[in-house]
Structure 1
């Protein structure tokens, strides 16, 4: 189960089959979208106001971690406007000409969704500035001194950009979005609603406490909740009568190595190594990664963000340090000499001294 691509609790969509299942479970209207209440209300006002005026809505930027519903909201925006949706992504647009080809074929009012927009190539990004503001692009024909810029008008459209790295988005591009929303992680109660709805769509019988058990281990992410639900469904159909109860969900997720807080094998391996081998830290990232047989980038990008968010691990100038909650979660006694045993510490954004 090692590696980011094989993790049951990864928030990334993995494989064409999962994307098809996700599409079937997605809500189609804003009123059916669960969670993100403030974003839903603000977005509803933006869309309804534009429809009343008969104008194209402002461009929309959605930021937040993977699996929180950015693509779903883009599809809902198009559905609420009664317009088709064109889908692309920043990495897929390598040249300005690629973007010009997409923009020139948009119909009036159409919605263009660009996922991972922060990874857009610089020439395409600069072309997008003019397209978003003036609905016009300059197409360069020829090379060198003989090159000519031909202005090309494009139909008014609504751009929906999505990013998991809002800090990497250039300021000039961000400023051209009329509505910017950050999507937060979901509360367990919201995920319970999503799990019960998905169970109905999958024709799976689930009890309220079974839905609560799945939701509580879903790391605040609907995509993970739906993935866990499908794995628990498999267990219920093969080893039980098909009904998902709390006890059955616990047994299934124990088999899949997802514990009650949503930690999987890699997460617990990082914590166990930090506690048992290094006394709770501080320890450098590369040393910690070697101790669990993973690359430093895997530990830093895949495991650490959730552990930090759960209050189980802290990143300090001297290295990684386990919190008292980490000792309690693994059922270990915290030594009196532990670096966080009743002492104050300085947390930073991950910088550390060399090993």
Structure 2
């Protein structure tokens, strides 16, 4: 089971309500991603001045960086209705046809995880994005016929964590692609300052900075950690804020570098059970009783970004920084590794 603080975990309704309350409603309120925000602002303002629907938008980047929030803002700042769906929910072309045919003129259609949409639906989307029409097949075999259906102008906002899985014809039909990047600590501090204010929490900046430093560059994780701190302060109202932050994060196994229980377990297994590697991800997963896909998709990217692990043709290898982080001394033969 993955840690409850990882960004790939499905969100329960309480988490969704909590995050929804903290979402900025306009580009002027959005913190971070300055380049993408500036590009979106220009795109939306130009469309408004020309009295046309904005170009189709693709938002790409790791989970938790604000793709869904930006999609909502596109609809809000352009004064248009928003329709939301997801790639896995569109399992065949008929699902997409029903969705597109019900759009009103100028509506913003947001498809999350668009790379997981059925290939038949993806091919139908090409024509819809380019010419605002779709062809519906009626009948089967030699008697089948195609009926063209005109669509009202709309703006598609697609979000993906795996840009490489999108077919080139689909990717090329987006007028703008925004690549979201991990946040710097000072940007996360701004996010947490705003969230704490909205939640009515009196937490000094040094304590918020500590949360920001452990948030893996991800606003979703930062806000979730803030919620855990809020819970701790509710149960222990007389504890000083900085102490409460440290105690809450320690309780949920988030170390000063942002590693959670699963991250640390993977790193410790790599170092202690496999001598620092190289070792395959399958062997790591079996040794921990975890799913290999979870380790590869959730844990590895962060450990590699932190310089604690590298991928080699022979498998995963712990860096000298990983040994230091665990307060261990690498074998003599590995002293010079990275």
> What TM-score, normalized by structure 1, do the two folds share?
0.92
**Post-superposition offset of 1:187:** 0.5
Q: What are the within-5 Å matches in structure 2 for residues 117-136 of structure 1? A: 117-136=114-133
Aligned to 1:279: 275
For residues 130 and 297 of structure 1, what CA distance do their matches in structure 2 show?
34
Q: Kindly provide the CA deviation profile for residues 243-275 of structure 1, in whole angstroms up to 9, marking residues without a partner as x.
A: 6x3332111100110001111111111111211
Tell me the secondary structure at the aligned position of residue 262 of structure 1. coil
Tell me the secondary structure at the aligned position of residue 333 of structure 2. coil
For residues 191 and 120 of structure 1, what CA distance do their matches in structure 2 show?
32
Aligned to 1:352: none
Task: From the superposition, tell whether residues 87 and 74 of structure 1 become closer, same or farther in structure 2 (CA, over 3 Å).
Answer: same
Q: Kindly provide the CA deviation profile for residues 27-76 of structure 1, in whole angstroms up to 9, marking residues without a partner as x.
A: 00001000000000011101101100111111000000111100000000
**Post-superposition offset of 1:321:** 0.7
For residues 284 and 160 of structure 1, what CA distance do their matches in structure 2 show?
37
Aligned to 1:99: 96
For residues 291 and 148 of structure 1, what CA distance do their matches in structure 2 show?
56
**Post-superposition offset of 1:343:** 4.8
- Unpaired segments ≥5 residues, structure 1: 345-355
Aligned to 2:323: 327
Matched, 1:307 2:307: no
**Post-superposition offset of 1:176:** 0.1
For residues 124 and 69 of structure 1, what CA distance do their matches in structure 2 show?
26
Counterpart among 150, 153, 158 of residue 150 in structure 2: 153
For residues 242 and 96 of structure 1, what CA distance do their matches in structure 2 show?
57
Decide which moves more: 329-338 or 311-320: 329-338
Aligned to 1:351: none
Counterpart among 262, 267, 273 of residue 263 in structure 2: 267
How many residue pairs are counted as aligned between the two chains?
338
Aligned to 2:336: 342
Counterpart among 138, 143, 152 of residue 135 in structure 2: 138
Task: Give the root-mean-square deviation of aligned CA atoms.
Answer: 1.4
Tell me the secondary structure at the aligned position of residue 103 of structure 2. coil
Counterpart among 203, 217, 222 of residue 220 in structure 1: 217
- Unpaired segments ≥5 residues, structure 2: none
Aligned to 2:21: 24
Q: Does the 8 A contact of 2:58 with 2:176 survive in 1?
A: yes
For residues 320 and 334 of structure 1, what CA distance do their matches in structure 2 show?
15
For residues 204 and 241 of structure 1, what CA distance do their matches in structure 2 show?
14
Matched, 1:175 2:172: yes
Counterpart among 5, 24, 36 of residue 39 in structure 1: 36
For residues 265 and 337 of structure 2, what CA distance do their matches in structure 1 show?
25
Q: Does the 8 A contact of 1:205 with 1:242 survive in 2?
A: no
> What TM-score, normalized by structure 2, do the two folds share?
0.97
